[in-house]
């Protein structure tokens, strides 16, 4: 029988913001325990460093230039709501349900019209905000399509919904549970005071004292906080709050005696700069857009006692697309999107078997595309901006552009050819990020378009 599957998928939780990846001040004992007894993927990346495209890649196993979502989707815009995002593409939930799983979403969807239950789900409890100002006031949620209002923290509300599902599910079938936490997303205010207070005296020594990003200006999405120390304390508290929610779900699994039959995955949609490089935000935290390591790296922990070869720290370069394929592999389900998908399952390395793998990352955000190997990263701006070639070994803070250096001509041309060959093979007509203004409207402040869209 295939395992039950629980995926914790947080929003804006950067890889650097976990003890398992070297953070020395954040407390996250449940996630640390999962990493120590499971598998930690040290080089996990998002295909796109912004919310909706990254999530769409997880759900479909496809890149943005394949599934067609290229920026964060505005939940309060009628044009965005009425666009049928991911139309005709089977999602992970669709495929797992067809394979016999009971499926549930508790938390953030953000691939279009979150208040409407999506195909493939037996249980749907999604949160969205018309005016996303605070995380501790009354907000609207979709309980199987019925709009309800709740007061309290999203993390607690989504955790309670997940536990409710686990208790009410069909116990004769395997289940897939997606928990979409949002606590690490801005604005970084109003987190539980007992958690925040423990970080107000932190040194935040794990955040480098960087020079300002030399290849762009700080963006305004979000604006830099007036009190950086307080924002960091709130962010660190958010990680601890998420960790507590994870612990509650793990406790429920243990109480039902299904923990050893359940694959646990923890990851996030993309990374985040919290003052790194003088930037606050992810890929759209600078103008022009960036593909900085802090923006593209995500945490990825997998754990199943007795089934996964625990205690591993793996170096393979993997993305959300590969995670999609790996979950399908564990579920013993045949991927419907395999044709034309760059995704590859890394299950063999998790269970102690050999894995044939190439360490190469490719990412995109609108007209910006990147390719990275174990040392160098090439960033191509097809909108006419400055192309970058970075030596990540000698210049880990990404401050020196080697693109025009004659000594790197052969490397630059080779990496450019690999990048362009990838998209020539995989991008789908009408979905390419290079289409710019010809793509559907995602939000009214799309940072990657040629022109900003005026509000109607």
- What pLDDT digit, counting tens, does each position of 237-251 carry? 999 999 999 999 999
Are residues 40 and 304 in contact, defined by beta-carbon separation less than 8 angstroms? no
Measured in whole angstroms, the distance separating CA 145 from the mean position of its chain's CA atoms is 25
Residue pair 354/367 in contact (Cβ under 8 Å)? The answer is no
CA distance 442 to 46: 19
Tell me the CB-side half-sphere exposure of residue 16, using CA atoms within 13 A: 18
The beta strand positions in 91-132, using DSSP E, are 102-107, 123-128
* Distance (Å, whole) CA 361 – CA 49: 13
Task: Kindly list the structural domains of the chain, giving each domain's residue range(s) and its CATH number in brackets, ordered by start.
Answer: 4-352 (3.40.720.10)
* pLDDT value, residue 130: 44
Token pair for 303? 């754990």
Judge contact between 78 and 331, C-beta under 8 A. Answer: no
Q: Is 258's pLDDT higher than 60?
A: yes
Report the pLDDT value the prediction gives residue 117, as an integer from 0 to 100: 87
Q: What is the mean pLDDT of residues 173-179?
A: 98
- The per-residue b/e assignment along 29-66, b for 16 or more CB within 10 angstroms, e otherwise, is ebbbbbbeebbbbbbbbbbbbbbbbbbbbbbbbbbbbb
DSSP letter at 230 equals H
* CB atoms closer than 10 angstroms to residue 146: 10
Q: What is the pLDDT of residues 62-105, one digit of tens each?
A: 999 999 999 999 877 877 877 889 989 999 999 999 999 999 99
- Whether a cis peptide bond, with omega within 30° of 0, leads into 187 is yes
Tokens of 116: 């409407």
Q: pLDDT tier at 128 (50, 70, 90 boundaries)?
A: low
Residues 6+ apart with CB under 8 A from 351: 307, 308, 309
Tokens read off for 137 = 């006031």
Query: What is the per-residue pLDDT across 43-69, written as a single tens digit (0 to 9) for each?
Result: 999 999 999 999 999 999 999 999 999
Is residue 20 a contact partner of residue 32, using CB atoms and an 8 Å limit?
yes
Nearby residues of 408 by Cβ (< 8 Å), 6 or more positions away: 389, 402
Asked if 339 and 381 count as a contact pair (C-beta separation under 8 A), the reply is no
């Amino acid at each position: 029988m295939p395992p039950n599957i629980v995926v914790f998928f947080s929003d804006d939780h950067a890889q650097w913001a976990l003890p398992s990846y070297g953070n020395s001040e954040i407390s996250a004992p449940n996630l640390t325990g999962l990493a120590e007894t499971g598998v930690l993927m040290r080089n996990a990346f998002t295909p796109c460093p912004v919310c909706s495209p990254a999530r769409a890649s997880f759900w479909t196993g496809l890149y943005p230039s394949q599934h067609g979502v290229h920026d964060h989707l505005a939940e309060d815009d009628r044009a965005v709501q009425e666009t049928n995002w991911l139309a005709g593409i089977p999602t992970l939930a669709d495929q797992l349900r067809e394979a016999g799983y009971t499926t549930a979403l508790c938390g953030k969807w953000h691939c279009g019209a979150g208040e409407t239950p999506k195909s493939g789900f037996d249980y749907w409890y999604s949160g969205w905000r018309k005016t996303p100002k605070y995380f501790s006031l009354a907000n609207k949620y979709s309980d199987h399509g019925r709009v309800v209002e709740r007061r309290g923290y999203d993390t607690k509300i989504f955790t309670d919904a997940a536990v409710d599902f686990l208790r009410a599910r069909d116990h004769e079938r395997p289940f897939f549970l997606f928990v979409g936490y949002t606590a690490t997303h801005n604005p970084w205010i109003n987190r539980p005071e007992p958690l925040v207070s423990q970080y107000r005296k932190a040194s935040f020594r794990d955040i480098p004292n960087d020079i300002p990003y030399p290849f762009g200006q700080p963006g305004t999405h979000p604006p830099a906080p007036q009190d950086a120390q307080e924002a960091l304390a709130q962010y660190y508290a958010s990680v601890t709050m998420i960790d507590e929610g994870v612990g509650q779900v793990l406790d429920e699994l243990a109480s039902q005696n299904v923990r050893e039959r359940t694959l646990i995955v923890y990851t996030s949609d993309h990374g985040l700069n919290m003052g790194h490089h003088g930037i606050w935000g992810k890929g759209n935290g600078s103008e022009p857009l960036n593909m900085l390591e802090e923006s593209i790296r995500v945490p990825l922990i997998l754990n199943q006692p007795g089934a996964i070869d625990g205690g591993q720290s793996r170096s393979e370069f993997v993305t959300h697309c590969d995670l999609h394929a790996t979950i399908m592999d564990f579920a013993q389900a045949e991927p419907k999107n395999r044709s034309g998908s760059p995704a590859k399952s890394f299950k063999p390395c998790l269970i102690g078997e050999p894995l044939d793998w190439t360490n190469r990352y490719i990412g995109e955000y609108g007209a910006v595309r990147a390719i990275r190997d174990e040392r160098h990263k090439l960033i191509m701006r097809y909108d006419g901006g400055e192309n970058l070639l970075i030596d990540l070994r000698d210049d880990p803070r990404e401050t020196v552009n080697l693109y025009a250096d004659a000594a790197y001509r052969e490397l630059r041309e080779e990496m450019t050819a690999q990048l362009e060959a990838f998209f020539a093979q995989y991008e789908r007509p009408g979905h390419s990020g290079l289409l710019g203004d010809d793509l559907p409207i995602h939000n009214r402040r799309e940072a990657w378009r040629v022109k900003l869209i005026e509000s109607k």
